[in-house]
Amino acid sequence: MRYWKNLEISAYAQLIERLESEIGLPSSGTVVQLKHREGTKGQHRVSYMGQRVTFYIAREDPYMKDRLRRRSELCSTLVVNGCNQLDQASASTLELLDASGCFYNQNAVLVGSHAFGVIGNMLGVTWKNDMVATEDIDLGRFVRLAGTEPIELGDKLKQAGFRVVPGFGHKDPPTSFKHDSSGMKIDFLAPLIGKPTAEPAKLTGMDVYAEKLRFFDYLITNPVRGAAITKNGILIQVPQPARYAFHKCLIALRRGATHEAKRKKDISQAEALFGVLMERKVSELHEAWDDLEWKDKAKEGFSMMGDEVREELLNVID
> What's the CA gap between 277 and 283, in Å, rounded?
9
| 244 and 266 Cβ atoms separated by less than 8 Å | no
SS3 state of residue 91: helix
> For the residues 214-220, what does the mean pLDDT come to?
96
Q: What pLDDT is recorded for position 147?
A: 61
Our CA angle for 108, 112, 116, nearest 5°, is 100
Question: Could you tell me where the DSSP H helices lie in the chain?
Answer: 6-21, 64-80, 88-99, 112-123, 153-159, 216-220, 241-254, 260-280, 282-291, 295-302, 307-317
Do residues 189 and 62 share a domain? yes
- Please say if the pLDDT value at position 108 is more than 70: yes
Do residues 307 and 284 share a domain? yes
> What's the CA gap between 18 and 32, in Å, rounded?
23
In the sheet that 51-57 helps form, which strands lie side by side, from edge to edge? 30-36, 39-48, 51-57
> What's the CA gap between 302 and 208, in Å, rounded?
35
Q: Show which of 208, 238, 268 is a domain's final residue.
A: 238
State the Rg of the chain over Cα. 20
Q: pLDDT confidence of 295, banded at 50, 70, 90?
A: very high
- Residues 29-62: pLDDT tens digits? 988 877 776 667 788 999 999 999 999 876 667 7
Do residues 68 and 204 share a domain? yes
- Tell me how far CA of residue 85 lies from CA of 11, 101, 278, in angstroms: 14, 22, 24
- Residues 53-91: pLDDT tens digits? 999 876 667 788 899 999 999 999 999 999 999 999 999
Q: What pLDDT is recorded for position 315?
A: 95
Do residues 197 and 254 share a domain? no
What sign does the dihedral 247-248-251-253 (CA atoms) show? negative
Q: What pLDDT is recorded for position 193?
A: 80
Q: What pLDDT is recorded for position 144?
A: 84
Q: What pLDDT is recorded for position 205?
A: 92
Do residues 61 and 196 share a domain? yes
Neighbours of 169 (CB within 10 A): 10
Average pLDDT, the chain: 92
| 308 and 271 Cβ atoms separated by less than 8 Å | no
What sign does the dihedral 262-268-270-276 (CA atoms) show? negative
Do residues 40 and 99 share a domain? yes
Do residues 103 and 186 share a domain? yes
- Number of domains forming the structure of the chain: 2
> What's the CA gap between 112 and 34, in Å, rounded?
39
Q: What pLDDT is recorded for position 158?
A: 96
Q: Show which of 199, 220, 238 is a domain's final residue.
A: 238
Do residues 73 and 152 share a domain? yes
- Please say if the pLDDT value at position 103 is more than 90: yes
Do residues 27 and 112 share a domain? yes
Q: What pLDDT is recorded for position 297?
A: 95
Q: pLDDT confidence of 218, banded at 50, 70, 90?
A: very high
Q: What pLDDT is recorded for position 198?
A: 67
Q: What pLDDT is recorded for position 34?
A: 79
> For the residues 1-20, what does the mean pLDDT come to?
95
Q: Show which of 238, 271, 301 is a domain's final residue.
A: 238
> What's the CA gap between 301 and 225, in Å, rounded?
27
DSSP letter (8 states) at residue 206:
B
- Tell me how far CA of residue 69 lies from CA of 11, 27, 44, 121, 160, in angstroms: 14, 11, 17, 21, 26
> For the residues 223-247, what does the mean pLDDT come to?
97
Where residue 222 falls (left for φ over 0; alpha for ψ -120 to 50; beta otherwise) is left
Name beta bridge partners: 44.
Answer: 31, 55
Do residues 141 and 95 share a domain? yes
> For the residues 123-132, what does the mean pLDDT come to?
93
- Residues 166-191: pLDDT tens digits? 877 667 899 999 999 999 999 999 99
- Please say if the pLDDT value at position 138 is more than 90: yes
Do residues 211 and 66 share a domain? yes
| 315 and 274 Cβ atoms separated by less than 8 Å | no
Domain range for 13 is: 2-238
Do residues 135 and 103 share a domain? yes
What pTM was computed for the model?
0.94
CB neighbour list of residue 84: distance below 8 Å, 6 or more residues apart: 117, 118, 120, 121, 126, 127, 132, 229
Q: Is 180 exposed, middle or buried (0-12, 13-18, 19+ CB in 10 A)?
A: exposed
- Residues 276-290: pLDDT tens digits? 999 999 999 999 999
- Please say if the pLDDT value at position 248 is more than 70: yes
Q: pLDDT confidence of 9, banded at 50, 70, 90?
A: very high
